[in-house]
Amino acid sequence: MKNDSNSFKVPFISKFAYGMGDVGCNFSWMFVGNFLMIFYTDVFGISMSAVASLMLLSRFWDAINDPIIGSLSDKTHTRWGRYRPWLLMGAPLTALVLVLTFWAHPDWNETSKILYMALTYCILVLGYTCVNIPYGTLCGAMTQNMDERAQLNTSRSVSAMVAIGIINIITIPLIELLGKGDMKQGYLWIAILYGAIFTACHLFCFAKTQETVTVPTRQKIPLRIQLKAVVRNRPYLLALLGQVLFGFVLYGRNADMLYYFTYVEGSASLFSLYSLAIIVPSIIGAGCFPLVFKWTSNKGWSASVFALGTGATMMALYFFSPNTSPVPFYLFAALSQFFFSGFNTAIYAIIPDCVEYGEWRTGIRNDGFQYAFISLGNKMGMALGTSCLALVLGAAGYASNAAQNEEVVSIMRHSFSTIPGMIWVVTGAALLFYPLNKKIYNRIIKVIAHKAMKKLHHSFK
């Protein structure tokens, strides 16, 4: 591995390949986040209360497997590096479980449905963890240059926004086309297609990326010591808080969107039209992150700017409808997505820099372990967001494939606009306290390099 990774320029093909990794991630996880809940309730025939319980209880499973996978990836030593081999091995197996997860059996009894749902979902979460944590950690292993990392995360975010837009636009029409009117078959074929894309993207990412950061090999660090090191890492704790709030508002709202367009606005096809309207703003917003970072010299402040913009424009959506006031509705939808995609780029760009801060502050470098808690925080937010939505909809009297009462409609409307908007504002306010700017970071890198040279010098004595 190359040692001078702070000056290493990542080749364009590697940046592109790293971005394609997140295309794969979204063809799995965003598909799950946006469509699995309504698949469970309206296609598989599982109750809202059972879905809510699964989403909440599965996070205990995450709390166990995320740190374990993070630590295992840190300890992996192969000729391909620490993190890339996980993409090679994990992606095909996870794709297979994705297909099984969307294999509906509406004729089964309730107990069998719930057991099948719980088993396939928990294995899917584990498989995704085995791919996503090493993939996310890979950015920090490719270079220590702050600007190069910003470009890597911009590539990742732009690619993700394109993928999300495509998924949201084509999924509903493809379900109808491939299923020929049978939603059960439509979802199964889509899962097969998206599983293949998930695998291909990660194999390409594996083939065209390179780990250049030399990670010091030390004795085994006890879990207690690693947790103490994390607690002393203030930038990391703020990034973790941002991820929890991010997961809560993103996945809670995404789970609500198809319900919103189907039952509030009267047509599921509006979801595809909405997704088409926001795809270009998504790409532009992600591409604007480097400009905002250059202006602020602080990735946390950049994330805050985007979060506050997302919150304000999302709350404005409450007052408009795609049916009665389409122009302002799609205008604010486009603006909210512009700000959101900028935030999405910024919040992931923060994480690798926190690893260097932690190494400087504590002497411990544990990339995978730290990214595991970021992943866990995002999933905890996802669990709380989706389970809260399922619980309140169930309590209000949600009935699948039927006209909804006024309370259910009101919950769906607020979950689409005002509630996530307010949480975005809170997220933006929290990230204003992020302390790690470009000047401080570069100073930290010099100190780490100086310490490494001193150790190398002493080892030759």
199-251 pLDDT per residue, tens: 999 999 999 998 887 665 555 677 677 778 778 888 888 888 888 898 889 88
Q: Are 118 and 247 in contact (CB under 8 A)?
A: no
pLDDT at position 230 is 79
pLDDT at position 455 is 64
pLDDT at position 458 is 60
What tokens appear for 398 in the block? 């949600």
Which residues of 133-253 form beta strands (DSSP E)?
A: none
The DSSP bridge partners found for residue 298 are 437
pLDDT digits (tens, 9 = 90+) for 238-259: 888 888 898 889 888 988 998 9
The reported pTM is: 0.75
The torsion angles phi and psi of 144, rounded to 5 degrees, stand at -105, 0
pLDDT at position 426 is 94
The runs of H, that is alpha helices, within 209-325 are 223-231, 234-259, 269-287, 289-296, 299-316
What tokens appear for 190 in the block? 């889509």
11: how many CB neighbours lie within 10 A of its CB? 12
**What's the rounded Cα separation, in Å, for the pair 8 and 126?**
33
**What's the rounded Cα separation, in Å, for the pair 29 and 164?**
10
**What's the rounded Cα separation, in Å, for the pair 62 and 363?**
27
**What's the rounded Cα separation, in Å, for the pair 135 and 152?**
12
Query: What percentage of residues in the chain have a pLDDT greater than 70?
Result: 94
How buried is 170 (Cβ within 10 angstroms: 0-12 exposed, 13-18 middle, 19+ buried)? middle
The torsion angles phi and psi of 217, rounded to 5 degrees, stand at -95, 125
Contacts of 420 (CB under 8 A, 6+ apart): 249, 252, 253, 311, 314
Q: Are 320 and 328 in contact (CB under 8 A)?
A: yes
pLDDT at position 48 is 87
How buried is 310 (Cβ within 10 angstroms: 0-12 exposed, 13-18 middle, 19+ buried)? buried
Q: Alpha-carbon Rg of the chain, whole angstroms? A: 22
**What's the rounded Cα separation, in Å, for the pair 264 and 252?**
17
Amino acid, single-letter form, for residue 426 = V
In this predicted structure, the answer to whether residue 442 has a pLDDT above a threshold of 60 is yes
DSSP 319: G
Q: What value does the mean pLDDT take over residues 342-357? A: 85
**What's the rounded Cα separation, in Å, for the pair 93 and 2?**
32
The torsion angles phi and psi of 276, rounded to 5 degrees, stand at -65, -40
- 56-60, 118-122, 219-223, 456-460: least confident range: 456-460
**What's the rounded Cα separation, in Å, for the pair 31 and 158?**
17
Q: What value does the mean pLDDT take over residues 58-72? A: 77
pLDDT at position 218 is 52
- Within its chain, how far is the Cα of 44 from the centroid? 25
Q: Are 118 and 257 in contact (CB under 8 A)?
A: no
In this predicted structure, the answer to whether residue 1 has a pLDDT above a threshold of 50 is no
How buried is 103 (Cβ within 10 angstroms: 0-12 exposed, 13-18 middle, 19+ buried)? middle
Residue 80 is inside which H or E element, if any?
Answer: none
Residue 212 is inside which H or E element, if any?
Answer: none
Sign of the alpha-carbon torsion through 174, 175, 176, 182:
positive
Q: Work out the mean pLDDT of the chain and round it to a whole number.
A: 87
Sign of the alpha-carbon torsion through 36, 40, 41, 47:
negative
**Architecture, CATH, for domain 12-212+224-459:** Up-down Bundle (1.20)
**What's the rounded Cα separation, in Å, for the pair 262 and 450?**
59
Contacts of 176 (CB under 8 A, 6+ apart): 186
pLDDT at position 3 is 46
DSSP 317: G
Q: What value does the mean pLDDT take over residues 139-152? A: 82
CA angle 46, 257, 262 (to 5 degrees): 75
Q: Which of 53-67, 135-149, 281-295, 418-432 has the highest mean pLDDT?
A: 418-432
Q: Which residue has the tokens 């374990």?
A: 68
5: how many CB neighbours lie within 10 A of its CB? 21
- Within its chain, how far is the Cα of 25 from the centroid? 8
Q: What value does the mean pLDDT take over residues 397-417? A: 93
CA angle 256, 409, 54 (to 5 degrees): 40
In this predicted structure, the answer to whether residue 124 has a pLDDT above a threshold of 80 is yes
Q: What value does the mean pLDDT take over residues 135-164? A: 84
pLDDT digits (tens, 9 = 90+) for 93-106: 999 999 999 999 99
403: how many CB neighbours lie within 10 A of its CB? 8
Q: Between 451 and 251, whose confidence is greater?
A: 251
**What's the rounded Cα separation, in Å, for the pair 110 and 100?**
18
